[in-house]
């Protein structure tokens, strides 16, 4: 048998609940209580409040009364306040609500150096879409894995038992010898037989969208630029006028003087020289003795994203850097490419070509 208390609702749950549905009643009640005195508060019994709330919950709901203006959807807008019109907003507040500047519209200012002294000669500004990209580790990782997969040869090959040269005669009888049963001598269990599940020539290369790969290139260059490890050389990076037997000693002094390479007293990291073409003097000097510990040289057409991320500093020719920019712009719009943002570079090339033709 059910308890008598089961039919009685939990009155304490409805205490003040109906006030949100009928705010006019709450307002009238508050006016009635405050009319007694400005500082007097009515003393009510909790039991009376519960009984009143329960009684209100049982009463039917009344529709809210709306005025004619509300029904016609006509409202009067108050006139502007003359006091607030003349108020000036502080400059600090205006800056706080300004939109953040677009980082790709900025210019990356690079210092042009002269090799081998690395003395600054001039400045040049490259677009932010080429040297001010945010560091995306995911894109760099995908590019490095893509290059590593493409460099794998995949030429390992073994022979299965059907490819091994030899007779198919059974080695020993099936029964009577007391030994395990065997087939021909080309079995993978025997010495000189085939290899079970051995490697076969295959292609390890994976796919990566060209736009993602080009963005990884410029991201790697932006990473070097932001760290202050990008050195742009004005002319060709080459070693001339030095005897062949003195190339190693001369190049060691150049690296040590400019803070490049790993030396006994200070280790700056293995530097990378990036040239547009092969420079015999530079390449020959870095291939001698133990120079491979301090630096190495690569042509622009053979460099990878991994090469740009490794080592201490990146010393690149100005022409080689601009060529890398031009070759990795597939993800940019036509208006964002280097030829549209820096047309003066190509005007100089045309003038230099015309000058060379006139001299010839």
Q: Kindly write down the DSSP assignment for every residue of 217-228, as one continuous string.
A: HHHHHHHHHHTT
**Beta strand spans in 211-354 (E):** 230-233, 271-275, 295-299, 314-317
- Reduced to 3 states (helix: H, G, I; strand: E, B; else coil), residue 253 is helix
Q: What is the spatial distance between Cα 137 and Cα 222, in angstroms, rounded to a whole number?
A: 12
- Residue 264 — pLDDT band, cuts 50, 70, 90? confident
- Residue 359 — pLDDT band, cuts 50, 70, 90? low
Q: Are strands 271-275 and 295-299 parallel, antiparallel or unpaired?
A: parallel
- pLDDT, residue 12, reads 47
- Residue 349 — pLDDT band, cuts 50, 70, 90? low
20 pLDDT more than 70: no
The pTM assigned to this predicted structure is 0.65
- Reduced to 3 states (helix: H, G, I; strand: E, B; else coil), residue 124 is strand
200-229 pLDDT, tens digit each: 999 999 999 999 999 999 999 999 999 999
Task: Please state which CATH number belongs to domain 108-137+145-150+208-359.
Answer: 3.40.1370.10
Burial class (CB in 10 A: 0-12, 13-18, 19+), 183: middle
- pLDDT, residue 311, reads 83
Find the range with the poorest average confidence among 84-93, 164-173, 260-269: 84-93
Residues 323-347, mean pLDDT to the nearest whole number: 90
Question: What single string gives the DSSP state of each residue in 148-193?
Answer: HHHH---------TTTS-S----SS-SSSSSSPP---TT-TTSTTS
170-206 pLDDT, tens digit each: 999 999 999 999 999 999 999 999 999 999 999 999 9
Q: What is the spatial distance between Cα 92 and Cα 81, in angstroms, rounded to a whole number?
A: 24
Cβ contacts of residue 65 below 8 Å, gap of 6+?
Answer: none
86 pLDDT more than 90: no
133 pLDDT more than 90: yes
- pLDDT, residue 192, reads 92
């Amino acid at each position: 048998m059910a308890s008598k208390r089961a039919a009685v609702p939990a009155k304490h749950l409805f205490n003040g609940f109906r006030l949100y549905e009928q705010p006019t009643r709450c307002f009238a009640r508050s006016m009635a209580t405050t009319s007694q005195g400005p500082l007097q508060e009515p003393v009510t019994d909790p039991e009376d409040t519960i009984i009143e709330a329960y009684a209100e919950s049982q009463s039917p709901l009344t529709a809210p009364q709306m005025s004619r203006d509300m029904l016609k959807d006509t409202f009067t807008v108050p006139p502007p306040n003359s006091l607030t019109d003349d108020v000036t907003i502080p400059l600090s507040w205006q800056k706080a609500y300004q939109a953040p500047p677009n980082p790709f519209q900025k210019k990356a200012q690079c210092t042009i150096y002269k090799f081998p002294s690395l003395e600054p000669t001039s400045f040049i500004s490259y677009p932010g879409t080429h040297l001010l990209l945010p560091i995306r580790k995911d894109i760099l990782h995908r590019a490095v894995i893509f290059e590593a997969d493409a460099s794998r040869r995949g030429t390992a090959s073994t022979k299965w038992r059907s490819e091994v040269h030899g007779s198919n005669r059974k080695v020993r009888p099936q029964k009577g010898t007391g030994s395990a049963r065997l087939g021909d001598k080309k079995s993978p269990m025997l010495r000189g037989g085939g290899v079970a599940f051995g490697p076969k020539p295959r292609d390890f290369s994976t796919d990566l969208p060209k736009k993602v790969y080009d963005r990884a290139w410029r991201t790697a260059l932006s990473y070097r630029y932001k760290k202050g490890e990008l050195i742009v050389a004005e002319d060709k990076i080459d070693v001339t006028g030095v005897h062949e037997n003195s190339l190693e000693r001369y190049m060691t002094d150049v690296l040590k003087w400019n803070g490049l390479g790993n030396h006994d007293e200070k280790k700056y990291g293995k530097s990378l020289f990036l040239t547009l073409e092969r420079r015999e003097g530079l390449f020959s000097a870095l291939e001698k003795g133990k120079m491979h510990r301090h630096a190495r040289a690569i042509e622009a057409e053979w460099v990878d994203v991994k090469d740009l991320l490794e080592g201490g500093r990146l010393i690149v020719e100005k022409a080689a850097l601009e060529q890398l920019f031009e070759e990795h712009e597939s993800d940019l719009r036509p208006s964002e490419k280097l030829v549209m943002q820096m047309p003066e570079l190509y005007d100089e090339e045309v003038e230099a070509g015309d000058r060379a033709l006139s001299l010839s």
